[in-house]
Amino acid sequence: MKLNYKSLIGNLKKGKIDPLYFFHGPQEYLKEEALSLLISKLVDPNLRSFNLDILFGPDSSADEIFNLSSTLPMNAERRLVIVREAQRLPAPSKNRLLKLLPHQPDNATLVLVFTEVKFNQEFYQELRELATSVDFQNLTYGELRNWLSSQAERLRKEISPQVLKHLVDAVGDNLLDLANELEKMAYFVGERTQIKREDVQAVFGPGHPSEIYEILDLVGEKKIEPALKVLSNLFAYRKSPTWITATLRNHYSRLYLLKTANQKRFAEVARGLRIREFKLQEYKRQVSSHSLDELKEKIYLVYDAELDLRSTLSRKLVLELLIYNLCR
């Protein structure tokens, strides 16, 4: 059986718990949330030493794992065995484990947690058939918004969609990083319930790398003065001029490729360029407001600026002229 994080959590909350799980995917924070829920559902805190075992792949063997999961639980319906870093099990243990897992007893739940997998290898293919496979993929923007809102609610705070977007721009979509930064902001605002955009900026400070994305938006809307102000912040905090131009060049190259795609292939090309879902509408707006010739000209402007950066002492002036020309 194959599940995603949302389906797994729904099953666990209903008490539908399988004997064998194969956890994989990039979002480690979601894995930890699922493990915490499993522990709360299966293990009485007073009996943890009897009914919960946590092992690590490099230090474990297949027989040890199976023996623990075959041990009868004490005063409980099930015991729980968690194997972290399971991808680092020795090769002989992986082969042995595949032979033992079909005999996994129903009075235990065994969770094999992987931080990386290679599905072209036979071990992972067979494991996916034997276990309930849970793919902890990156959340869509809608899922990310709901998750962040629930995290804010847990901290007794409110966060608007606009501020949420700014936070994701600043931090990225790694949930552990987002959770940490949200806690910082909750502490920063004190007793106030609403987290505002100014709070995000205050916590990160001016010149944070996220401000380069503000420049992309402002230049796209031809707002030259705010764009120059953000550029000044980046310079004040010693952000590399070549990093700034590389980001601009990458942005306009993406717009050019999206412009050349017809409407039916837009989403496909966007996925290939690894553009997150919540950014699609912004890209569509900027694509529609530029012709192919304009995008090509802006790419050349960035290239010219990169050449000028190698031959002039006034790097800030080069970038200010670039921003001015891009906003025309």
How far apart are alpha carbons 23 and 249 in whole angstroms?
Answer: 38
How far apart are alpha carbons 4 and 26 in whole angstroms?
Answer: 12
How remote is the C-alpha of 121 from its chain's centroid? 25
Same domain, 131 and 6: yes
Same domain, 117 and 145: no
Q: What is the per-residue pLDDT for 204?
A: 67
How far apart are alpha carbons 231 and 184 in whole angstroms?
Answer: 26
Compare 60 and 177 and report the one with higher pLDDT.
60
The total of structural domains in the chain comes to: 3
Q: What is the per-residue pLDDT for 292?
A: 84
Nearest to 34 by CA among 84, 88, 86, 94: 84
Mean pLDDT of 31-37: 88
Compare 169 and 259 and report the one with higher pLDDT.
259
Which residue range is the domain that position 259 belongs to?
A: 211-327
End residue of a domain, out of 204, 224, 255? 204
User: CA 159, 161, 166: angle at the middle one, nearest 5?
Assistant: 85
How far apart are alpha carbons 140 and 275 in whole angstroms?
Answer: 11
Same domain, 76 and 30: yes
Q: Please say if the pLDDT value at position 209 is more than 70.
A: no
Q: Are 180 and 314 in contact (CB under 8 A)?
A: no
Q: What are phi and psi of 16, to 5 degrees?
A: -90, 100
Q: What is the per-residue pLDDT for 96?
A: 94
How far apart are alpha carbons 170 and 187 in whole angstroms?
Answer: 18
Q: Please say if the pLDDT value at position 14 is more than 80.
A: yes
What single string gives the DSSP state of each residue in 181-234?
A: HHHHHHHHHTT--EE-HHHHHHHH-TT-TTHHHHHHHHHHTT-HHHHHHHHHHH
Same domain, 44 and 109: yes
The CATH number given to whatever domain includes residue 302 is 1.20.272.10
Mean pLDDT of 200-229: 75
How far apart are alpha carbons 42 and 38 in whole angstroms?
Answer: 6
Q: Please say if the pLDDT value at position 53 is more than 80.
A: yes
Same domain, 172 and 223: no
Residue pLDDT, tens place only, 229-263: 888 877 766 667 877 888 888 888 888 888 888 77
Q: What is the per-residue pLDDT for 46?
A: 86
Q: Please say if the pLDDT value at position 317 is more than 70.
A: yes
How far apart are alpha carbons 189 and 172 in whole angstroms?
Answer: 22
Q: What is the per-residue pLDDT for 144?
A: 84
How remote is the C-alpha of 215 from its chain's centroid? 23
Q: Are 128 and 22 in contact (CB under 8 A)?
A: yes
The CATH number given to whatever domain includes residue 160 is 1.10.8.60
Q: What is the per-residue pLDDT for 312?
A: 66
Same domain, 110 and 59: yes
Mean pLDDT of 253-274: 80
Same domain, 121 and 8: yes
Same domain, 11 and 111: yes
Q: Which helix (H) or strand (E) holds 270?
A: helix 266-272
DSSP letter (8 states) at residue 170 = H
End residue of a domain, out of 135, 151, 177? 135
How far apart are alpha carbons 63 and 93 in whole angstroms?
Answer: 8
Mean pLDDT of 91-120: 91
Same domain, 187 and 221: no
Mean pLDDT of 204-228: 75
Same domain, 10 and 127: yes
The CATH number given to whatever domain includes residue 121 is 3.40.50.300
User: CA 219, 274, 30: angle at the middle one, nearest 5?
Assistant: 115
Same domain, 166 and 86: no
End residue of a domain, out of 86, 114, 135? 135
Q: What is the per-residue pLDDT for 62?
A: 92
Q: Are 41 and 17 in contact (CB under 8 A)?
A: yes
Mean pLDDT of 176-198: 81
Same domain, 158 and 242: no
How remote is the C-alpha of 135 from its chain's centroid? 13
Q: What is the per-residue pLDDT for 63?
A: 93
